[in-house]
Amino acid sequence: MALSAPTTSAVATGMSNEVQLHPLRQMTVLWRAHQLSPPTGAFTASGFAALDAELPGRGWPHRALTELLLPHPGLGELRLLVPALARIAGAGDSSAENGRSVMLFDPPAALCGSALVQLGVDAQQLLVVHGREGARATAALRRLLPSADLLWALEQALKSGHVGAVLAWLPQRLKADTLRRLQLAAQSHDGPAFLFREVDARVKPSAAPLRLLLQGAGIDRLSVRVLKRRGPPLTRPLMLALPPIVSERLRARARGEPTPAMTAVATEQAASTSFVVE
């Protein structure tokens, strides 16, 4: 049986398939392991140029979890996030993200509203949820949520899609399937979602696409090591200068430098000694 030549419709169909497949060769969502993943969605700039340069998308990703691992609270982790929070819940910022709420789940200490306002965050946009088993829980606070209910509330907040940013201090010994549920819920959250965890969690698997290890590096300085990202590993930690909240006098005292008051006293003593000698 002789084979007939391809019909016009068949040729047209083949050309159509070629046209449909061609854009696949130019897809920007494909990336190689030695390259940073290109931007695939919305993000919020961190406010630190050196950090943004190392983050896929050039900022804190939306619709994904970001894990911040730290040895203990109070290293400056909130000041690391303050520039982004000011864009989301700032009082004077006119950006498109401005005016959205920020939910904080089980923070280990009371927030200082005046310091946050000083750094540009509108304290009225903050909503704090405490758990019964959190760092600040006591036997008298029976109305607070247990860990299971707190995690459920966190998951629902992410799923709602109405929160600008989420910050959650998670309990230890967290199950991997809990993180997977939170990551799935975060895909509905049009904003950054930060999970604070202990340093030991670095050796455990996590569904979070971005994991950073934070360590103190001196007065108003923070060491940030990128443990996991959509791209090659970062061999050296980043040294970031945090927004200062301590006065210059106290910073000088912590560095062992003479303060203006100490200098004035020393000058007065020197003048007095000189007068006696003469």
pLDDT tens, position by position, 146-157: 688 889 999 999
Q: In angstroms, rounded to a whole number, what is the distance separating the alpha carbons of residues 262 and 278?
A: 24
What per-residue confidence (pLDDT) applies to 274? 40
| Model confidence, pTM | 0.73
What's the confidence (pLDDT) of residue 175?
84
Instruction: Work out the angle between the directed axes of helices 147-160 and 176-186 (0-180°, nearest 10).
Output: 20
Alpha-carbon torsion (26, 29, 33, 36), positive or negative = positive
Strand stretches in the chain, DSSP E = 43-44, 60-61, 65-70, 102-105, 126-129, 165-169, 193-198, 210-216, 221-228, 238-241
Alpha-carbon gap, residue 85 to 119, rounded angstroms: 10
53-112: per-residue pLDDT in tens?
999 889 999 999 999 999 999 999 999 999 999 999 976 555 546 679 999 999 998 888
pLDDT tens for 124-168 read 999 999 876 655 555 555 456 668 888 999 999 999 988 999 999
Helix (H) or strand (E) holding 230: none
Using an 8 Å Cβ cutoff, are 63 and 42 in contact?
A: yes
Domain 43-245 has CATH 1.20.58.100: no
Please report, rounded to a whole number, the percentage of residues in the chain having pLDDT higher than 70.
Answer: 65
Cβ atoms of 132 and 145 closer than 8 Å? yes
The domain spans of the chain are: 43-245, 246-278
